[in-house]
Amino acid sequence: MTTDTTTPAAGPTPGTPLLHASGVTMRFGGLTAVRSVDLTVNTGEIVGLIGPNGAGKTTFFNCLTGLYVPTEGTVSYQGKVLPPKPHLVTQAGIARTFQNIRLFANMTVLENVLVGRHTRTKEGLFSALLRGPGFKRAEAASRDRAMELLAFIGLEAKAEHLARNLPYGDQRKLEIARALASDPGLLLLDEPTAGMNPQETRTTEELVFAIRDMGIAVLVIEHDMRFIFNLCDRVSVLVQGEKLVEGTSEVVQRDDRVIAAYLGEPFEGAPGDEELAEVEAAETATGSTTSTIGTEGER
């Protein structure tokens, strides 16, 4: 992986609030999957979001990115409340990946990255139909940017390969490159190392650090605790849809409540198994993205 082919993104002063979720609650009928969660991501930060199965992490991500409209609460980016539409959230400056890879399998690696440029392309339908000088300049600029990103993640030589023919680890990197193509100020990664071997995980860790060095803040869900604690400036823990604790890796690792949650020990106010099953069934019915920790699914 190379890291010197992309100009650092311009943005707010490092350390200033970038994303702020306030009191985010998500209910499916009468069941609550996420309850009054607050979270802030500052510029220049890598923030982790962890929790055991059924904690509501992906549901919360979906609320941040417009896939779900929160039942209560607000999500703001750079001080402005985000519209509940995924494409408008992307235009605002937030990009994401999914735990289940969502590439266009029959398109080339380059074409997949070019898809991510559509929110930054100003040419309209008539310009595309006429293919005038302005359209050709925009097309060339998009291609140049896409090739820069492929060089950044180490896939420049595979630009014309079909996405479906890439090894698993390269497909993961390609999805990140496609997200970066929208020039985000904040990147949300949902289980970026799921299914990876230790070498691929280490490569992903280096890639995330390089993205942060470009000036892009990162919020990441991950089940690999070693990865999270090595990577993140702060870690927030969700348990049964509520934020249990937030702090540095050292603080979170020593918290008895976090240890109890991961060991499956009950804590005060925890819902029973029947209620958890109802929440998961409701989320499945709405078509939420599935992510896995170990061998079980989390919605």
Residue 248 lies in a domain: yes
Q: What is the structure's pLDDT at 287? A: 52
Name the least confident of 18-22, 78-82, 267-271.
267-271
Which helix (H) or strand (E) element contains residue 140? helix 133-153
Phi then psi for 56, rounded to 5 degrees? 95, 15
Q: What is the structure's pLDDT at 9? A: 41
In the chain, beta strands by DSSP E: 17-28, 31-42, 46-50, 72-77, 80-81, 94-96, 186-190, 217-221, 234-239, 242-247, 291-293, 296-298
Query: Tens of pLDDT along 102-128?
Result: 899 999 999 999 998 877 666 554 454
Query: For residue 167, is pLDDT > 80?
Result: yes
Residue 212 lies in a domain: yes
Q: Give the C-alpha separation, 240 to 254, whole Å.
A: 20
Residue 199 lies in a domain: yes
Q: What is the structure's pLDDT at 131? A: 59
Phi then psi for 98, rounded to 5 degrees? -120, 155
Q: Are 136 and 199 in contact (CB under 8 A)?
A: no
Query: Tens of pLDDT along 30-51?
Result: 889 999 999 999 999 999 999 9
Q: What is the structure's pLDDT at 141? A: 85
Q: What is the structure's pLDDT at 127? A: 52
Q: What is the structure's pLDDT at 289? A: 39
17-28 and 31-42 strand pairing: antiparallel
Phi then psi for 124, rounded to 5 degrees? -95, -170
Query: For residue 282, is pLDDT > 80?
Result: no
Which helix (H) or strand (E) element contains residue 116? none
Which helix (H) or strand (E) element contains residue 216? none
Query: For residue 271, is pLDDT > 80?
Result: no
CATH of the domain at 250: 3.40.50.300
Residue 40 lies in a domain: yes
In the predicted model, what is the mean pLDDT of residues 73-81? 96
Q: How does residue 291 score in pLDDT terms, banded at 50, 70 and 90?
A: very low
Which of 288, 279, 291 minimizes the C-alpha distance to 28? Answer: 279
> CA 233 from chain center: how many Å?
16
DSSP 234-271: EEEEEETTEEEEEE-HHHHHH-HHHHHHHHT---TT--
Residue 213 lies in a domain: yes
Phi-psi region of 79 (alpha: psi -120 to 50; beta: other; left: phi over 0): left
Residue 277 lies in a domain: yes
Query: For residue 284, is pLDDT > 90?
Result: no
Residue 175 lies in a domain: no
Domain extent for 276: 17-106+187-298
Q: Give the C-alpha separation, 166 to 111, whole Å.
A: 14
pTM of model > 0.85: no
Residue 2 lies in a domain: no
Extract the tokens encoding 205.
């860790």
In the predicted model, what is the mean pLDDT of residues 180-193? 95
Q: How does residue 24 score in pLDDT terms, banded at 50, 70 and 90?
A: very high
- In single-letter form, the type of residue at position 216 comes to I
Which of 251, 171, 198 minimizes the C-alpha distance to 206? Answer: 198
How many domains does the chain divide into?
1
Query: For residue 174, is pLDDT > 90?
Result: yes
Phi-psi region of 264 (alpha: psi -120 to 50; beta: other; left: phi over 0): left
Residue 20, helix vs strand vs coil: strand
